[in-house]
Structure formats: structure tokens, C-alpha cells
Structure 1
Amino acid sequence: MLLPVVAGVDGSAESLAAAQWAAREAIRRARPHARRPARGRGPGRDGERAAGHRHLARRVLRRAEEHVSRTNPGVTVEAEQVEGLASGALVRASEGAELLVLGSRGLSGFTGFLVGSVALAVVARAARPVVLVRAGEEAADEHFAAPDGTPSVRTGHRDVVLGLDLGDPCDEVISFGFEAARVRGARLSVVHAWDPPSPFGPGPGEIGLADPPRQAAEWLGFMTAVLQVWRDKFPDVEVVEKVAAGSARSVLVRAASGAGLLVVGRRAGARPTVPRSGPVTHAAVQHVGCPVAVVPHE
């Protein structure tokens, strides 16, 4: 059975942008509909206050439905109002979804997301991929500009960038990146960051070559070997392989400049008391300007 694309909406501009992105993704992935639960704003209450919250949630859903249906007539929208704490409600909604799409809280004063506590909590706990979309994201932002420099939806899709940890290359993350590139007809840019060797000798997991160019060549050869099976599964996807010396956080932020989507992984094994997304994923969702897909893996 095909799973739906789910978007969480709360009436904010960024959640409406996320709903639009979810509708476009549903069309790309040939999903039957985009289900849209309204975010809860707190525990359910009796009386007039609870009735007011439910009324507001219905208005939010109607506005989101109208917004999406007007611009994406090929998508059937199934609205659902959920109650309870927002993060828990969204995590539960994601369990039966192909992916969950959320808006960020807004743009920071630098480059990308200023992610709210709800989005971060969902990213850290969801068992399915979560995509974060910034306020103001439009369909044309996923495409290259027209020859005259104006925004266009008739040009090709911008690259999908896949952040790959070659020390732990996870099938779930790689598969999501290849599939995202395939449904867009986009190029897949696979990026791995490696730390230059210490002057005191190679550390754990480092390739034992003192010469940085040779070390980069070794990492690139390893990447090619890891990706070969995926190239065979997705023969129509153009793949560009890149390795760069430096911290994974800074390398990924630079690599995602001008991209249409960044794909990163999050280890989902242990459930700590305070869920965390990991430093690399956290930096990506805070500082990258394009939508970011966070894919959980074991």
C-alpha cells in the first residue's frame, strides 16, 4: 500500500510552505493524497477553551486545504485534526506516512532555519523521514533559474545533496537520496567530509596516509565502491561524488548552497531522556537554506 505524504500545519506561513512542498512531493512520488494533521497546541481541555482551539484548528485546516488545492489540483487532501502536545501528535502522525513535512519557525539572521522546539523534537523522535521547509519556499526555488535569471518551474531541478558518512553508510539514507533525485530528474551530489590526519599520526577510523591528496583519493574510491550498487538500482540518476577535508557540519552547509534538497541521516537506535538529532543534523537544519530531509536509521 502506498503511504501518504503528511504535513503538519498550524496556520503559520512556514507551515503553509511546508504543505505546498508536501503536495508537490506527493505528486512527484505518485502518492494518492497528502494527509494534513493540524498541529495540537497543548493537552486536550474541556469547555469553551477547548472548543475555541478546535474551531481554530478547523479554520487552519480549511485554509491549508484551499491553499494547496488551488495550486496543486492533482493532489487529494485529507485533513485530520489531532489533539495533544504538538510534538507527540506529529510523531504519531508520521508513523503511517511516507514522510512528514514541517515548517521551520522562520529564517534566521544568517542563512537558513531558525528551527522551533516542536520541529526539533519531532526530528529527534520520528521513526520516518522528516523534511523541514523554510518560510517562503516556493516551487520555483526547487528549480534552476531561467536563462534570463528569473525564477521558473519549467527548468530542471536543482541538485539533491546527500550527506554520506562513509564510516557508517546507511541504506535508508542512501536510498532516500537516490529516490529523491530520481523522482525529480535531478542530479545527486553525494558528499563526505573527512578529517585531515593529526600530526601525531592517524586516529581511529582514519585512512593511514599522510598525504592529503592521496587520502582524499582513498575516500573517493571507497565512496565509489559503496555507491556502485545504488547506481545499478537507479541507472537514470546522475551521480556526482565529492569528498572534502573539514568538519561535516561546515562541509555540508557549503555543499547545500544552491541545492534543491539536502538529505542527512539520524541514528534512531537509542531513545535518550532528551531526544537529540546529532550535531551534524542539528547544524544542517539550523543553517541550510534549502529544505532538509532527516532520515532515521539504525
Structure 2
Amino acid sequence: MLEHVVVAWTGSARARAALEWARRRPTTRAIRLLRVLPDDDGGHDVAAGARLALEAEVDRLHEVRPDLEVASSVVHGDVEAALLGAAAPGALLALGVGGAAALRLPHRSALLAAIAREAVGPVALVPVHGGDPHGPVIAGVDGTAAGVAAAQVAATEAAATGTSLVAVHVHPRGPIDGWPGGSLDAAARDITAHLPHLLVRQRIVRGDVRAELRSAATGASLLVIGRHRSPGPGSELEHDAVAGMACPVLLVRAEDARWSAPAAASGAAVAPAG
């Protein structure tokens, strides 16, 4: 379970969206607000002002969620390097994305996409507007180790929020060689063995992976997909998510597949998605 969240803080609406998402997330146990200042950004006065602003946010978080461990830090240096360093295995880096700034500051969006692509830990891309907190959690399942991790992380998030999980497998258009839903069936069995009370829906669609997962995000509370090093629909979705999708997008690696509870007897309801 990804309990420790690092929020990239700038004081903007995008950063606040990421912070509020992390705060409301039931599985969050600790938050660190990280402000990165370029070496040439104003000197001592700017750094002092940034620290005061962070202290105010820490106090606010303690008031609204006393159970959280909250810390903050201001560092100087290269923004990309600092945020990549914060995206460590076992910690979740939350980045605010989308909004008008995505159009006004394309270099900023390119920076966030690079961080999402290169980070060695999980990354959440949280849009300024979007996501139904009562909607299901969507997992993109593709049969890879990263896809298995996405299904497990998505199931854990859905169970914690009391919503359902929709596991989606997108089969590219063209001839079908055998049953395309084998990885989906395996993921559902694995999930129900560990989380027997979670409602899991399975959905197989044919089409463009990128387009179908964007469509699945509509009305969802969260979309979880596996991150792959090689170019493809996953890397293209990172750019879509930075521009701002219909819900937050959580990118995980194969190494992020962890269960927080021992396996139980299978008894969960597994149903086809409507």
C-alpha cells in the first residue's frame, strides 16, 4: 500500500489539487510537501517565503486530518532532478496537472511528462478538475508484470474507498488468436483471493488502447495503469494524463505490486461490467 505521498508544491491550483487528492485518499498515512526552487530563483527572501507558506499548509493539514504525519521541505536545484529523487520506490509522488497552465506553459507539461516517464517510483497525475470520488477505480490490465501491479494497486485503492473495481483489458483490432481475456481472468482471481469482499467487474474491449482507457476514465475516481519503459500506448497516456484526463491517473511499475493483507478464501463477486 502506497501510504507515503510526496506532493510537488508550488502554491498553484494544480499543486493544491494534488494535495487535496492525497489528503482525501484513505490509504495516505504521511504527506511531505516538497517545494523545489531553481538556484537562480530569488535567493533568501524567496526561500523564506516558501517555507512560511509550507508551514501554513502543514498547520492546515493537521487541522483537517490529525492522523496524518505531515512534513515539508524547500530544496534548491534542478526541478526535474529533485522530483525524480523524491519519486522513490515505496513513496508516491503526486503531481498536479491540467488546467489552463497546461496550455500556457507547454514546457511545464513536458517536464511533468518526463518525470512521470522516468521516475523509479509510482506517480499520481492529478487534474485540477475531474474525477468522481464515488466512481469506480479502473485498472488497465495487459498481461505484463506492470499490468498485474496496476490491478493489485487499483484493487487496494478501491477496497479502501469502499467503491468497486473495473478491470479493463483492451484488445487491439485485428485477428484474435485464442481467448484475449486470460490475463483479466487471472488478475480477477488474484484480487478476489486477497480482497474477497471487493466487487470486481471485468471488461474486454477491442480498439485503440489509448482511446479506450481515456474513455474508461470518464466517471471514474481513479485510473491505474502499469508503466512500461518501451514506447507505446502507456507512454502516450502519460502525455494525456499530464494534459489532464477525466480522473487522476496512477502510474505504477511491476515492483509496486504489494499486498497488505494475507490471502483469503475466494468469495468476492466478479461480474461483467455494463
Q: Would the TM-score normalized by the shorter structure come out above 0.5?
A: yes
User: 1:109–1:8: structure 2 CA closer, same or farther, 3 Å change rule?
Assistant: closer
**By how many angstroms is 1:221 displaced?**
4.9
Check the 8 A contact 2:3/2:27 in 1, yes or no.
Answer: no
Structure 1: distance between partners of 2:129 and 2:244: 16
Q: Quote the offset at 1:142 in angstroms.
A: 4.2
Percent identity, please.
28
The residue number in structure 2 matching 1:207 is 177
- Map of 1:211 onto structure 2: none
Question: 1:281 maps to which residue?
Answer: 238
1 or 2 for the larger relative contact order (CA 8 Å, sep ≥6)? 2
Higher gyration radius (CA): 1
Question: 1:249 Cα shift?
Answer: 0.9
- Which aligned pairs between 1:258-273 and structure 2 lie closer than 5 A? 258-268=219-229
The size of the alignment, in residue pairs, is 252
Mapped partners of 2:45, 2:132: distance in 1? 37
Give CA deviations for 1:32-90 in whole Å, capped at 9, x if unaligned: x211111x232x35xx9321331232133134324433433332311111221112111
Post-superposition Cα deviations, 1:200-250, rounded to whole Å, max 9, x if no partner, equal xx4xxx426xxxxxxxxx223552134312221121221110011110011
Answering whether residue 248 of structure 2 is matched by residue 291 of structure 1, we say: yes
TM-score calculated relative to the size of structure 1: 0.73
> Is 1:231 the equivalent of 2:201?
no
1:242 matched to 2:206: no
Matches within 5 A, 1:148-163: 157-163=134-140
CA contact (8 A) 1:220 1:241 kept: no
Higher strand residue share: 2
**What is the DSSP-based 3-state SS (H/G/I as helix, E as strand, rest coil) of the residue aligned with 2:253?**
strand
What residue is the counterpart of 1:186 in the other structure? 163
Contact 1:264 1:281 in 2 (8 A): no
Alignment of 1:69-108 (within 5 A): 69-95=62-88, 97-106=90-99
CA distance 1:247–1:107, change in 2 (3 Å): farther
Structure 2 counterpart SS, 1:253: helix
Identify the residue that residue 216 of structure 2 maps to in structure 1: 255
Structure 2 stretches lacking a partner, 5+ long: 256-274
Give the drift of 1:279.
1.8
Structure 1: where are the runs of 5+ without partners? 144-156, 209-217
Q: Is the 8 A contact 1:249 1:284 kept in 2?
A: no
Q: Aligned-pair RMSD on alpha carbons?
A: 3.2
Moved over 6 A (4+): none
- For 1:244, give the aligned amino acid: V
